[in-house]
Amino acid sequence: MSNALDDLKSRCLSCNACKLCATRTNVVFGEGPADAKIMFVGEGPGADEDEQGRPFVGKSGRLLEQYMAAAGLSRYENVYIANMVKCRPPENRDPSEEETDACLPWLRGQFRCLRPGLIVCVGRISAQKLISPDFRITKQHGEFFEKNGTLMTATLHPAALLRDPRKKGEALLDFMKIRKMAEEKGLV
């Protein structure tokens, strides 16, 4: 299956389906073990990610890794990380509907290759696109949903936690629930 993922990645690296291709430095396809059963989906690359071609490698990424570690999860061992859009929206603006729609086939391809048992939406943008358009991240983070036969949840975006550290306890609880569910479902 990793060959299919490698093939998807090599095609994605030359994508020009939306105008973000004109301003990107690197395509940030996503990364993690090809046998990961848990997939985290963020919003889109920031400046550090665009520079390095890797998801969640800046300040937000370091915080995300700490929460994963608290739940016994690791992007190097059992979690695959991707984003809704694979190219950086300039000035860190939210990706537009047009851009997320244009990029969705790559994410769907990643889902097909990995067949994750749990998808964790990181922040509002991916939760609204993948779980429900009226998803309320402040109220519904940490809840679990089944969609098209796949278990899904959402957690607060680490950038939001950096802006408002009072929310960090809530995020930790999300990760404790993710751990428990992952154990129950045999995903770790």
Q: Which residues bind ligand URA (CB under 6 A)?
A: 42-46, 49, 55-56, 60-61, 83, 122
CB 81 → ligand URA: shortest distance, Å?
7
Residue 78 or 126: the one with the smaller Cβ distance to ligand URA is 126
CB 102 → ligand URA: shortest distance, Å?
17
CB 43 → ligand URA: shortest distance, Å?
3
51/157 Cα distance (integer angstroms): 21
DSSP state of 21: G
Residue 64 or 178: the one with the smaller Cβ distance to ligand URA is 64
CB 149 → ligand URA: shortest distance, Å?
25
CA distances from 19 to 23, 53, 86, 87, 109 (A): 8, 18, 12, 9, 21
- Beta-carbon contacts of residue 29 (< 8 Å; ≥ 6 apart): 8, 9, 12, 13, 53, 82, 86, 106
Q: Token digits for 151?
A: 């278990």
Residue 91 or 184: the one with the smaller Cβ distance to ligand URA is 91
